[in-house]
């Protein structure tokens, strides 16, 4: 079997650029548009950028960590890259599709691999109404914000907001409040992946709210609708025995 055609991209950090120069000397490379695998050098933020950049292309992404956390990345080693790619295990992710309507009536769409978050813009708390599949489930949530997370994103912002860690193959989403004031004891909900979630922003002129889908922010929203888009598939490659399911499981035993 012939070796896969590899493309190499890197973040702007000195560590990533040094790794790019080293690997470019060691391996035959091709353009990302012709590659069987794209190797991304950087941190988790750069991996998200890469997944968004090549979302329509559908090429599997294999990341090597030249950042800080590197939850979505593999360890960096210059040697044996072809062998690692041949043995790599694949995780398939489906992003969330956000449809945000602003107070001025403009409509914006964006995809989120990790989460869609709503955040207050001023000193005043946000007031939200939450509907699931067309049925109001909470008439009023007073909070700093709220987020809807995929399993892949459940160990990121969602975990920092005290949301649950979700197994990668659980077919559920995490709905997690951010600093809930009323009802103070509400900790969120776990929803089926097919759920269609809608947030209506109450008093949006007085209490403006922004909506963020990964790296896309829409300010002064009045309504935000979110659902998982199964028509879009993203493929991430992990070293054998260190796949995303194992990483998420291990995260639940950190202390």
180 and 83 housed in the same domain: no
What's the mean pLDDT in 27-33? 95
215 and 159 housed in the same domain: yes
Q: What is the pLDDT at residue 169? A: 85
What's the mean pLDDT in 108-120? 97
Residue 37 within any structural domain of the chain: yes
> Tens digits of per-residue pLDDT, 194-243?
999 999 999 999 999 999 999 999 999 999 999 999 999 999 999 988 77
Residue 22 within any structural domain of the chain: yes
Identify which of 48, 42, 12 has the alpha carbon closest to the alpha carbon of residue 215.
Answer: 48
Residue 31 within any structural domain of the chain: yes
Full residue range of the structural domain in which residue 213 is found = 96-228
108 and 188 housed in the same domain: yes
Residue 85 within any structural domain of the chain: yes
224 and 108 housed in the same domain: yes
Q: What is the pLDDT at residue 2? A: 67
* CATH number for position 212: 2.60.200.30
What's the mean pLDDT in 153-168? 92
Q: What is the pLDDT at residue 255? A: 62
Least confident of 67-71, 129-133, 146-150: 67-71
pLDDT higher than threshold 70 for residue 129: yes
pLDDT higher than threshold 60 for residue 1: no
Reported as half-sphere exposure (CB side, CA atoms, 13 A), residue 255 has a value of 1
What's the mean pLDDT in 149-154? 94
* Cα angle 155-160-75, degrees, rounded to a multiple of 5: 40
224 and 239 housed in the same domain: no
105 and 83 housed in the same domain: no
Average pLDDT score, the chain? 94
Least confident of 9-18, 79-88, 195-204, 239-248: 239-248
> Tens digits of per-residue pLDDT, 46-81?
999 999 999 999 999 999 999 887 788 999 999 999
81 and 136 housed in the same domain: no
12 and 115 housed in the same domain: no
Name the token pair of 137: 């489930």
Q: What is the pLDDT at residue 242? A: 78
Q: Give percent of the chain with pLDDT exceeding 70.
A: 99
Residue 1 within any structural domain of the chain: no
Residue 55 within any structural domain of the chain: yes
209 and 140 housed in the same domain: yes
75 and 161 housed in the same domain: no
| Strands in 29-144 per DSSP E | 37-42, 61-65, 89-93, 96-102, 107-112, 115-120, 126-132, 135-143
119 versus 68: which is more confidently predicted?
119
> Cβ contacts of residue 154 below 8 Å, gap of 6+?
163, 164, 165, 166, 174, 248
Q: What is the pLDDT at residue 6? A: 96
* Cα angle 91-92-94, degrees, rounded to a multiple of 5: 140
pLDDT higher than threshold 90 for residue 106: yes
Residue 196 within any structural domain of the chain: yes
* CATH number for position 70: 3.40.50.10330
Which helix (H) or strand (E) is 201 found in, with range?
strand 197-202
22 and 106 housed in the same domain: no
74 and 113 housed in the same domain: no
Q: Give percent of the chain with pLDDT exceeding 90.
A: 85
Look at the chain and report how many structural domains it folds into: 2
Residue with tokens 């997370």, as numbered in its chain: 149
pLDDT higher than threshold 70 for residue 187: yes
What's the mean pLDDT in 190-194? 97
Residue 122 within any structural domain of the chain: yes
Q: What is the pLDDT at residue 140? A: 98
What's the mean pLDDT in 170-182? 95
69 versus 164: which is more confidently predicted?
164
Catalytic residues: 44
């Amino acid at each position: 079997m012939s070796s896969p055609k590899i493309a190499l991209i890197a973040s702007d950090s000195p560590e990533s650029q040094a790794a790019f120069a080293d690997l470019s000397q060691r391996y035959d490379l091709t353009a990302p548009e012709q590659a069987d695998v794209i190797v991304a050098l950087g941190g988790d933020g750069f991996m998200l950028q890469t997944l968004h950049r090549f979302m329509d292309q559908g090429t599997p992404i294999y990341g090597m960590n030249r950042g800080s956390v590197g939850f979505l990345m593999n360890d960096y080693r210059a040697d044996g890259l072809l062998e690692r790619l041949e043995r790599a295990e694949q995780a398939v992710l489906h992003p969330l599709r956000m449809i945000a309507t602003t107070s001025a009536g403009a409509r914006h769409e964006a995809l989120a691999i990790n989460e869609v978050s709503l955040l207050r813009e001023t000193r005043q708390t946000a007031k939200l109404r939450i509907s699931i599949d067309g049925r109001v489930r909470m008439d009023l949530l007073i909070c700093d914000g709220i987020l809807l997370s995929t399993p892949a994103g459940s160990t990121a912002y969602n975990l920092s907001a005290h949301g649950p860690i979700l197994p990668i193959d659980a077919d559920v989403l995490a709905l997690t409040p951010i600093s809930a004031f009323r009802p103070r004891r509400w900790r969120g909900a776990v929803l089926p992946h097919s759920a269609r979630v809608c947030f209506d922003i109450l008093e949006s002129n007085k209490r403006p709210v922004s909506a963020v889908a990964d790296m896309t922010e829409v300010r002064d929203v009045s309504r935000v609708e979110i659902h998982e888009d199964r028509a879009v598939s993203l493929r991430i490659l992990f070293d054998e025995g260190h796949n995303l399911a194992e990483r998420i499981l291990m995260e639940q035993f950190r202390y």
